[in-house]
Amino acid sequence: MSILSDSEEALLARARAIGAEFVCEPESVAKGVREYLRLMDKGLSEPGQAMTMIPTYVTAVPNGTEKGVYLAVDLGGTNFRVCSIDLHGDSKFTLTQAKTPIPKELMTGNSKDLFSFLAKQVAYFIEKHHSQTIDAATPTNFLKLGFTFSFPVDQVALNKGHLLRWTKGFDIPDAVGKDVCELLQKEIDALGLPVRVVALVNDTVGTLMARSYASPGKSGTLLGAIFGTGTNGAYVEKLSRIPKLKKMSEESGTKFDHSSGVMVINTEWGAFDNAMKVLPDTPYDRALDKNSVNPGMQMFEKRVSGMFLGEILRNAIVALMDHGLFKSAHGTSIDENGPLFTAWSIDTSALSTIQADYTSEYTLTKQLLEQQLGVSAATTGDAMAIKTLVYGIGKRSARLSAIPIAATALATGAYENYKKAKADAVPGQEVEKIDIGVDGSVVEYYPGFERYLREALRDIQPLVPGAAGLEDAIRIGIAKDGSGVGAALIALVA
Ligand code: ADP
Ligand code: MG
């Protein structure tokens, strides 16, 4: 441990004060849960709410016995993935995939450029990996493709959905209101590919399906949740708790199978509490929102997901530079036109790297500052101060993520059912936990994300009615390759 100078001690005190602004107290999480329960009911009753609670017309989740070979593509926000999936019917599958970053200029251009780029990736994939095997495995002469499209759409049929609005930094005005399956199919046809887009899948629904196919338990998965570029969730809801559904399905003329008594709802929880009644707010959040393409929208997402955590950190670092950051050594130099002074230039993976830096001299953080952030010869004090900020931002993200998870387990009655099963169980009998599938680089790679999330679940237990013992009832598992497998499973029922 190095000895810090007085100026470094002062810097660190200031960093702790900023870090404290990100502290998300138990009562704050509990308030979030209560507000989420309210907005959930509102969204299920009335169309057109910010937290949209979109009916997906998917009325069952898989049990692991499904079989077949399918194509799937996933437009997530950062990458475009193309894959083929062979479902073996025993909760296992084989998957071949290719991943391409989406060129930045296509995110804000026109729809034709974006979708023809996507279709070309499908063409490369088929050519490279699978033309023979897949052709042989498919009885008909075209391949069924499930399209995972992780933006809010008004879905009117399994393979038809009109884009409501862009999120996650995309802005292609001419696509809004159009059927995104048709946009993709048109470009696929233009290339003469033997591929038919049979299902439109939100990544959250895909995650739910994939986890349900692969999960260890006998009963289905309750919730699929994404913590990647953006954040969102889809869960299994009782038809009787979706008052708006009757009118909506009549208006769109969409028929669906009522026999299961349930439907998967895509919550669009990124827009939870856009009114900012309960979400924590700091000057660094406000600066981010002001500079975003959609001020006042996706306020939950802007505090939780990968697209935003780096920018929150950048704002906090800039604030700390007024209080001695990078000033304790003469040799420290900062690139004035570098990432620290360029909005959106810090990737959330940087937070993971810093969070995981347990070297005594903060070598990894100093290295990252030098290589990615344009700061050379930062001191250990500087690095410690930055880690203090990172810790606050990352932990707040994970704790906020407990809000929709707790609320969903409570509102659906899943936790009530668990408690009943537990009361009825004979001594020694295992009661199956509430299964939750998660996907996305933030939950997968941010050090301690699930641990902090679980801490928050425990914190709310005494503060929210009916929540005593909740944390222990919840099982969280990564839905490996969730969007691909999920899209395949939905293409299968198409
Ligand atoms: P998508 O949202 O396109 O499906 P991902 O789930 O991979 O893709 O999420 C990408 C987001 O995750 C980006 O915002 C990126 O900054 C962030 N990210 C990537 N790697 C890491 C990491 N190691 N730790 C935390 N966040 C990460
Ligand atoms: Mg994704």
Instruction: Please state the rounded mean pLDDT for residues 147-175.
Output: 91
Collapsing DSSP states into helix, strand and coil, what is residue 67? Answer: strand
Q: Rounded to whole angstroms, how far apart are CA atoms 135 and 218? A: 34
What pTM did the predictor assign? 0.92
Q: What is the distance, to the nearest Å, from the Cα of residue 145 to the centroid of all Cα atoms in its chain?
A: 22
Please tell me the distance from the alpha carbon of residue 157 to that of residue 124, in angstroms, as a whole number. Answer: 29
Q: Which amino acid is at 111?
A: S
pLDDT of 135 > 60? The answer is no
How many Å apart are CA 394 and CA 23, to the nearest integer?
A: 10
Query: 60-115: per-residue pLDDT in tens?
Result: 888 888 888 899 999 988 899 999 999 999 989 999 999 999 999 999 999 999 99
Collect all residues with Cβ–Cβ distance below 8 Å to 319 and sequence separation of at least 6.
18, 283, 284
Greater pLDDT, 420 or 62:
420
The alpha carbon of 467 and the centre of ligand 2 are apart by a number of angstroms equal to 30
- Of all residues in the chain, the percent with pLDDT exceeding 70 is 97
C-alpha span between 201 and 352 (Å, rounded): 29
Q: What is the rounded distance in angstroms from the CA atom of residue 67 to the CA atom of residue 91?
A: 10
**Percent of the chain scored above 90 by pLDDT?**
81
Tokens of 53: 């609670």
Q: Which of 74, 78, 232 to mutate to test the pocket of ligand 1 (most atoms within 8 A of CB)?
A: 78
State the CB neighbour count (10 A cutoff) for residue 57. Answer: 18
Say whether 139 sits in a helix, a strand or coil: coil
Short-list 178, 283, 273, CA closest to 231 = 273
Does the beta carbon of 306 lie inside 6 Å of ligand 1? yes
Q: What is the pLDDT of residue 275?
A: 98
Helix-helix angle 26-45:380-411, to 10 degrees: 40
Give, using CA atoms, the residue closest to atom 23 of ligand 1.
Answer: 349
**pLDDT attached to residue 79:** 92
Question: In this predicted model, which residue has the larger pLDDT, 466 or 169?
Answer: 466
Identify the residue whose C-alpha is closest to ligand 1 atom 4. Answer: 76
Q: How far is the CA of 156 from the centre of ligand 1 (A)?
A: 30
CA distance 264 to 256: 12
- CA-352 nearest atom, ligand 1: 24
Query: Dihedral through CA 363, CA 366, CA 368, CA 369, nearest 10?
Result: 180
Residues with a catalytic annotation lie at 150, 165, 203
434-439 vs 474-478, strand pairing mode: parallel
Residue nearest to atom 6 of ligand 1 (CA): 440
Q: Is the CB of 225 under 6 A from ligand 1?
A: no
For residue 33, pLDDT over 90 is answered with yes
Q: Identify the pLDDT of residue 137.
A: 44
CB of 219 within 6 A of ligand 1: the answer is no
At residue 160's C-alpha, the angle toward residues 154 and 56, to 5°, is 55
Residue 493 has pLDDT above 80, yes or no: no
